[in-house]
Amino acid sequence: MLSDEDRIIVDNLLSTNNETVISALALPLVKLSDAVYKALVLVWQLNPDENLQNAAKDKLDDFHDFSQLVAINNHFEIFRSLNEVMPWTDATAAEIQRSNFELFSKQLPDYELLISSYALYSELILDAGRKLLMIFQLEKEAKSCFEIIVKYNSENDEALYALGRMEERQGNSENALNYYEKAIAANPDNSFAQMQTGILKTELFQKYEEALQHFSKASESDPYSVEPYAKMAESAYKMGNIPQTRQFLEIALGINEYHEAALNLLGILQWKIDENYEAAVETFKKGIDHKIHEDSALLLKSLGDIYAEHFQDFKMAKLFYEKSLKSNPAQKTLLEHYVPFVLKQFQDLGAVEKAYVDFLNLSTKDTEMLTAYANFLCEYLNDFDSAYNYLERALELDANHQPALKLMRKISDYVDTSINKNEDLEDEDDDDVTIDIIEIDDDWNDDEDNDEDDDDFSGGGAAGDH
């Protein structure tokens, strides 16, 4: 237990007010309690004011020899190196940060209560966590920073929000929503948590009215931001409230007339509701070669859609789809639409292959698309060896992925034995396995065994993008 005197000293040393810290450092200290000692270390190592750092170190000089001070300094190197060692200056930067954080973690239990309890220092470890995650991609280390704060301060909305973002990145939507709602309970004015809660409730849980309230609250906190109004328009549209959709779009485009999502929804209204097709095209075309956002993958896709569905101009549709994929190759939903469209209308195998390769260069761990591309290689290019390699990649990610297993069994007799490592795959019942894109040609089917259920297969579609 801290004495009242020591608690006052610690509170003053770790204050955000420099004058208060100076007055605490000016006190004569004959001996140091454990808490006061740790507070002095934090001021020396983490306070952004160099004069305060030096004054705290002078106090510690009276109680430590040089080698002990060097050891303490080394343990806190992570906070200095985060600002000095960047990935673009050193190929080993991430490993340096991992090593530094491991060293800091050995001392962290001694300091985590104080770090988490005082605003200046909790913000410093929050910042460290953000940098570890966003700059160095060190998820485990970053998560430790955020969890330390929440462990002692369960109402720190910024740490809760950061943990929610990490859960969302990993696909754990329900856990993410739980963290966001805790962050909102702690601070209703956290506009980031309000926005992400609304986005999840719109896109994954279809709770549009609740989402609308979250976006509305975010707009109160940041009335000049276009994002909340664009999202409110989207929620209203999904609720079928067209007049309200138009109102929110007017506000959004009044703030930023080139906002992609707002323009896209306006174009959809002009197309689907007003049946003003030329106006819709002009709206979507604001996404082409614009100096603010360059090419908009979203608006280019919509141009492809309207030319394919309404104008039946498949050549123009293909052009816009390809411009969209060039702008953002990792559009899974568009790729799943583009492949059968191009195969049916143009039989352009080169374009399909390029689209798959561009996607998989960016999304290297998508089992459905790895399987879909393997199926395409088999059916259209008769490249069984390459297909087998892609199936191996898919099964490395998910050993029980049934479409990949089924396709691998089918092509095993066509693959060079030097790469056929799975001849003894179990002959499982394939009756329930279906893949949604392409069927095998008749010539290949004639070479198959008499298992008719195995003859009809294709390249595995998946649910829409998040």
Mean of pLDDT values over 96-114: 93
Angle 139-152/93-117 helices, nearest 10 degrees? Answer: 0
Structure tokens at 182: 């805790």
User: For 73-87, how does the pLDDT look when each residue is reduced to its tens digit (9 = 90+)?
Assistant: 999 999 999 888 878
- Give the structural domain span for 344: 329-466
In a domain? residue 381: yes
Number of domains in the chain: 2
Tell me the pLDDT tens digit for each residue of 7-39.
999 999 999 999 999 999 998 877 788 999 999
Residue 249 neighbours by CB under 8 Å, 6+ apart: 229, 230, 233, 262, 265, 266, 269
**For position 86, what pLDDT does the model report?**
79
The dihedral built from the CA positions of residue 187, 193, 198 and 203, taken in this order, carries a sign that is negative
pLDDT at 454 over 80: no
Long-range contacts formed by 134-142: CB under 8 A, 24+ apart? 135/82, 135/86, 135/87, 136/87, 136/93, 136/94, 136/97, 136/98, 137/94, 138/94, 138/97, 138/98, 138/101, 139/166, 141/97, 141/98, 141/101, 142/166
Q: Residue 229 — pLDDT band, cuts 50, 70, 90? A: very high
**Pairwise CA distance, residues 55 & 50, whole Å:** 9
290 strand-pairing partners: 294
Read off the pLDDT of residues 143-202 as tens digits, 9 standing for 90 and up.
Answer: 999 999 999 999 999 999 999 999 999 989 999 999 999 999 999 999 999 999 999 999
Whether residue 282 is contained in a domain is answered as yes
Considering the domain architecture, whether residues 336 and 299 belong to the same structural domain is answered as no
pLDDT score, position 18: 94
For residues 69 and 44, what is the distance between their CA atoms, to the nearest angstrom? 10
Q: Quick one: 301 and 348 in the same domain?
A: no
Residue 213 has a CB neighbour count (10 Å cut-off) of 16
- pLDDT tens by residue, 348-396: 999 999 999 999 999 999 999 999 999 999 999 999 999 999 999 999 9
Instruction: Among 325, 357, 388, give the residue marking a domain's end.
Output: 325
Which residues partner with 294 through β-bridges? 290
Query: Is residue 354 located within the same domain as residue 458?
Result: yes
Measure the CA–CA gap between 166 and 340, rounded to whole angstroms: 35
Mean pLDDT of the region 292-311: 91
Residues 316 and 369 in one domain: no
Phi, psi of 290 (to 5 degrees): -90, 145
95-115 average pLDDT score: 93
What is the spatial distance between Cα 18 and Cα 12, in angstroms, rounded to a whole number? Answer: 9
pLDDT at 132: 94
Q: Residue 423: inside a domain, yes or no?
A: yes
What is the DSSP code string of 85-98?
A: --TTT-TTHHHHHH
In a domain, 399, yes or no: yes
First-to-final CA distance of the chain: 50
pLDDT given for residue 353 in this prediction: 97
Identify the pLDDT of residue 24.
93
Cut 0.85: pTM above it: no
208 within a domain of the structure (yes/no): no
The answer to whether residue 114 sits within a structural domain is no
Any residues with CB less than 8 A from the CB of 339 and at least 6 apart, and which?
A: 352, 355, 356, 372, 376, 437, 438, 459
Same domain, 321 and 357: no
